[in-house]
């Protein structure tokens, strides 16, 4: 490197940079003005604030104005978003609103050279704004003055492979180290953050109304599928509502968080179901490419011509994915511009950014959670939700929290401009408390009831959890290692609860058997001290053919 510079083969090029300025593009509502006043008062010190606002309430505009204040003080800003899909639109908005600012993005989808260049700009202090997904939390920022975590409740902020960490929690730790304020943003915050905000640990900054004049929250209707039986997965009232929007030139969204054509291929004669040979999961039918795919390990196979168990050639698909819904709607509305937006479609076309650009011109969008967060479609007035009941019944105690957040985010796509929005949810359980809270747009009441249940059951945020996980080609070896590890655990008394080893809910993944030991404590310092001492002994525990790791604050079981 040095010789290359001396001989002139390598030249150092400093990026052009001018003083950042802020372009005021929107007039604030009185509620937004109050929120900015509260947040602005704490810009000189570390403080965690929860910006809790309904969908469309202008949370982004609020933190844009805060960023302008921070940049005017010659400080740097870190903004974390959960989805790579959200970064292009946000980056464009930032460049429009902050001309002259040095803005870099950090996501896993970027080329390595581009990501390193952004890292160096941040490290040298030349970058004013760093925007990215969870890995951006590690960007070195010597002048850090503000941290923003958008959609803070999103599970994708948790890194679940390799070095395991929560980007949201690390962002708070970075703010504490830099003595910089941290703003967590969400319409449906995690129960942990909501509990901290309502108990006084965090500052609660609420937004109860949408920012655009006459843009009311959408009306949510529950369609009882016992009264209106679905035809090919869609009830008649939803089809009628779609036809009405088409006649008015408005846009609709049909949400189904299941990609592919059908989630299972089975034999009706003998009951055989095509499972993945590497995972404890069924293969998903992708009819367009005539393939079966595992959505956990990526294994792909051809569709068999007959049942391998009984020879029956009449195999059937069960359930529905976005591809099947797209075909059905194409038959029902042949003149409509229908666009499927999911990860499969993004790979098939020229990337997600191009797909989202095309989405603005479609009449009916069929999509997964990619469409649920952060996108603004002016003409979208109807959102229909299929298979919503799948989130009601799960062994995971976080399932209902996630289901409410997802449905609220989907509902938030409708009626964001001046046109009124409507949301139709197909369900067999219209009286379920989750749905009744959704109809009232009452996250606060729903979160309160969940927190009461969590307190009674002894779950986070009232206890702290960790898990020791073991992986092996042989499940017996994994369980044997965990039992041996428990035998080597330090004395714990009543402060730490260690549960028996058990297989994970997805016991086999990519050919590896997985098991775990769950730990709970009402004291985080005691749990951390226990884990530090236990970790030392784990390295000396025989682990032939077993890989293990500790996961603090696990979100999957």
Q: Are residues 383 and 526 in the same domain?
A: no
Instruction: Output the domain CATH number for residue 236.
Output: 3.40.50.300
Contact 152, 184 (CB under 8 A): yes
Query: What is d(CA 511, CA 501) in angstroms, rounded to the nearest whole number?
Result: 20
Q: Reduced to 3 DSSP states, what percent helix, strand and coil does the chain have, rounded to the nearest 5?
A: 35, 25, 40
Task: Give the domain-ending residue among 453, 476, 503.
Answer: 453
Q: Are residues 429 and 514 in the same domain?
A: no
- Write down the pLDDT at residue 190: 95
Q: Are residues 387 and 497 in the same domain?
A: no
Task: Give the domain-ending residue among 433, 453, 473.
Answer: 453
- Write down the pLDDT at residue 544: 86
pLDDT tens, the chain, 557 aa long: 566 555 666 555 555 555 565 666 667 888 888 999 999 998 989 999 999 988 888 888 899 999 999 999 999 999 999 887 777 778 888 888 888 889 999 988 888 888 999 999 999 999 999 999 999 999 999 999 999 999 999 999 999 888 899 999 999 999 999 999 999 999 999 999 999 999 999 999 999 887 765 567 889 999 999 999 998 889 999 999 999 999 999 999 999 988 889 999 999 999 999 999 999 999 999 988 899 999 999 999 999 999 999 999 999 998 889 999 999 999 999 999 999 988 877 776 556 777 878 888 899 999 888 887 767 788 899 999 998 998 888 888 999 999 999 999 999 888 877 788 999 999 999 999 999 999 999 999 999 999 999 999 999 999 999 999 999 999 999 999 999 999 988 887 778 999 999 999 999 999 999 999 999 999 999 999 999 999 988 988 888 889 999 999 998 88
Residue 7, domain member (yes or no): no
Query: What is d(CA 385, CA 221) in angstroms, rounded to the nearest whole number?
Result: 11
Residue 329, domain member (yes or no): yes
Q: Are residues 33 and 164 in the same domain?
A: yes
Residue 346, domain member (yes or no): yes
Query: What is d(CA 341, CA 364) in angstroms, rounded to the nearest whole number?
Result: 10
| Contacting residues for 278 by C-beta, under 8 A, at least 6 apart | 294, 297, 299, 508, 509, 510, 511
Q: Are residues 48 and 181 in the same domain?
A: yes
- Write down the pLDDT at residue 100: 85
Residue 298, domain member (yes or no): no
> What total number of domains does the chain contain?
3
Task: Give the domain-ending residue among 141, 174, 207.
Answer: 207
Q: Are residues 330 and 226 in the same domain?
A: yes
Residue 283, domain member (yes or no): no
Residue 557, domain member (yes or no): no
* Token pair in block for residue 242: 């779609």
Instruction: Output the domain CATH number for residue 507.
Output: 3.30.70.360
Q: Are residues 359 and 484 in the same domain?
A: no
Entry pTM: 0.88
Query: What is d(CA 137, CA 461) in angstroms, rounded to the nearest whole number?
Result: 23
Residue 288, domain member (yes or no): no
Q: Which domain holds residue 476?
A: 464-552
Q: Are residues 17 and 152 in the same domain?
A: yes
Angle at 229 between CA 226 and CA 235, to 5 degrees: 120
Q: Are residues 159 and 232 in the same domain?
A: no
Q: Give the residue among 442, 441, 419, 443 at the shortest CA–CA distance from 212.
A: 419
Angle at 553 between CA 456 and CA 525, to 5 degrees: 85
Contact 183, 165 (CB under 8 A): no
Q: Are residues 382 and 497 in the same domain?
A: no
Q: Are residues 413 and 501 in the same domain?
A: no
Q: Are residues 426 and 473 in the same domain?
A: no
- Write down the pLDDT at residue 91: 84
Residue 297, domain member (yes or no): no
* Token pair in block for residue 251: 């846009």
């Amino acid at each position: 490197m040095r010789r290359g510079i001396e001989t002139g083969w390598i030249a150092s090029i400093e990026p052009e940079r001018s003083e950042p300025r802020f372009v005021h593009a929107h007039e604030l509502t009185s509620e937004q003005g109050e929120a900015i006043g509260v947040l602005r008062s704490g810009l000189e010190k570390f403080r965690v604030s929860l910006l809790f606002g309904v969908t469309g309430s202008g949370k982004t505009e609020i933190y844009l104005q805060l960023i302008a204040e921070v940049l005017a003080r010659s400080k740097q800003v870190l903004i974390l978003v959960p989805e790579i899909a959200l970064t292009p639109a946000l980056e464009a908005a930032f460049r429009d609103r902050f001309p002259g600012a040095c803005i870099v993005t950090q996501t896993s989808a970027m080329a390595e050279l581009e990501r390193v260049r952004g890292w160096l700009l941040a490290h040298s202090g030349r970058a004013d704004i760093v925007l990215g997904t969870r890995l951006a939390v590690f960007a070195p920022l010597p002048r850090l003055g503000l941290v923003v975590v958008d959609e803070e409740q999103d599970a994708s902020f948790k890194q679940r492979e390799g070095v395991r960490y929560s980007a949201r929690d690390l962002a708070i730790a970075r703010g504490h180290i830099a003595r910089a304020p941290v703003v967590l943003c969400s319409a449906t915050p995690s129960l942990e953050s909501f509990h901290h905000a309502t108990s006084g640990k965090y500052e609660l900054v609420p937004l109860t109304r949408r920012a655009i004049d006459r843009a009311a929250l959408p009306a949510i209707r529950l369609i009882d599928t016992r009264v209106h039986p679905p035809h090919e997965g869609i009830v008649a009232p939803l089809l009628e509502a779609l036809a009405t929007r088409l006649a008015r030139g408005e846009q609709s969204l049909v949400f189904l968080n299941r990609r592919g054509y059908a989630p299972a291929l089975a034999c009706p004669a003998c009951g055989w179901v095509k499972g993945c040979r590497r995972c404890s999961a069924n293969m998903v039918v992708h009819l367009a490419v005539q393939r079966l795919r595992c959505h956990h390990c990526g294994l792909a196979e051809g569709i068999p011509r007959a049942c391998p168990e009984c020879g029956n050639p009449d195999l059937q698909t069960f359930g529905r994915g976005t591809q099947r819904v797209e075909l059905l709607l194409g038959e029902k509305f042949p003149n409509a511009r229908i666009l499927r937006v999911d990860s499969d479609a993004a790979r098939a076309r020229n990337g997600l950014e191009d797909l989202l650009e095309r989405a603005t011109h479609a009449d009916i969008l069929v999509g997964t959670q990619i469409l649920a967060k952060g996108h603004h479609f002016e003409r979208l007035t109807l959102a229909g939700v299929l298979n919503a009941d799948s989130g009601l019944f799960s062994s995971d105690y976080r399932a209902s929290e996630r289901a409410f957040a997802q449905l609220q985010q989907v509902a938030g796509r409708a009626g964001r401009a001046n046109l009124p929005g409507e949301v139709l949810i197909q369900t067999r359980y219209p009286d379920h408390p989750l749905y009744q809270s959704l109809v009232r747009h009452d996250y606060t009441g729903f979160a309160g009831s969940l927190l009461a249940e969590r307190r009674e059951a002894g779950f986070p945020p009232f206890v702290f959890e960790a898990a020791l996980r073991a992986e092996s080609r042989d499940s017996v070896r994994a369980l044997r290692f965990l039992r041996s590890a428990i035998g080597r655990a330090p004395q714990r008394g009543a402060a730490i609860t260690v549960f028996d080893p058990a297989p994970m809910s997805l016991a086999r993944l990519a050919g590896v058997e997985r098991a775990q030991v769950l730990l709970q404590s009402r004291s985080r310092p005691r749990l951390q001290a226990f884990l530090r001492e236990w970790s030392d002994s784990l390295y000396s525990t025989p682990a032939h053919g077993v890989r293990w790791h500790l996961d603090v604050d696990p979100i999957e079981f």
